[in-house]
């Protein structure tokens, strides 16, 4: 029912909570991952700013946390890539790797493992192996009957379709099986506000 024979393209934000055997982070360069240009945003009200210690928040903190999210999506290997040059409007621009790569250098084993030596010696074979579809999960007879009953009168909404396209496994657990889970913080906040307003209007 759940197919995994595909290459998943995802942003770091969308990848939260998911894992893959092999992850490739692209464009890990300065300006995209760290040292972003500061945009002029809407100024927050004084009532909010007085409880916020802006100086204590290092400017690259959010990007660093997101970079960590990307790294930890990999079960086996994580490959980090960045261009040495880019072409913009017909002009070649020299690029600098992200500061986060320098920060993690001291934690990396710089010795090339034997498994990577095999990849470099025959890259075409490695790419073919990565692109070869994995076997589709075969359901048992009783499982097939169970899921057939679930989808017998099932109507696919736009929300359900988007969930299926984003993550088939989440579609099965959340939409078909309706596995209970804790509400997300924004939903809890919304329910609290709704309950408070309802209480005020009824009293």
Domains: count for the chain: 2
pLDDT given for residue 186 in this prediction: 76
Name the pLDDT band for 124 (thresholds 50, 70, 90). confident
> Do residues 9 and 103 both lie within one domain?
yes
pLDDT given for residue 131 in this prediction: 65
| Mean of all residue pLDDT scores within the chain | 79
Domain that holds residue 178: 139-203
Residue 56 has pLDDT above 50, yes or no: no
67 occurs within a structural domain: yes
122 occurs within a structural domain: no
Give the burial string for 120-133 (b: 16+ CB within 10 Å, else e). Answer: eeeeeeeeeeeeee
pLDDT given for residue 70 in this prediction: 92
pLDDT given for residue 72 in this prediction: 92
Tokens 């329910």 belong to: 191
């Amino acid at each position: 029912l759940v197919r995994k024979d595909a290459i998943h393209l995802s942003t770091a934000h969308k990848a939260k909570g998911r894992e893959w055997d092999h992850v490739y982070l692209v464009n890990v360069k300065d300006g995209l991952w760290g040292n972003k240009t500061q945009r002029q945003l809407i100024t927050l009200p004084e009532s909010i700013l007085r409880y916020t210690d802006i100086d204590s928040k290092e400017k690259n903190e959010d990007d660093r946390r997101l970079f960590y999210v990307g790294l930890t999506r990999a079960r086996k290997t994580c490959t980090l890539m960045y261009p040495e040059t880019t072409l913009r409007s017909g002009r070649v621009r020299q690029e600098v790797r992200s500061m986060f790569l320098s920060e993690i250098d001291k934690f990396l084993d710089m010795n090339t493992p034997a498994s990577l030596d095999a990849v470099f010696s025959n890259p075409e074979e490695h790419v073919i192996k990565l692109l070869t579809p994995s076997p589709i999960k075969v359901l048992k007879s009783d499982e097939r009957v169970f899921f057939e009953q679930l989808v017998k009168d099932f109507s696919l909404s736009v929300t359900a379709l988007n969930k299926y396209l984003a993550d088939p496994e989440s579609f099965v657990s959340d939409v078909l099986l309706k596995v209970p889970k804790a509400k997300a913080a924004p939903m809890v906040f919304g329910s609290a506000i709704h309950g408070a307003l309802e209480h005020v209007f009824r009293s």
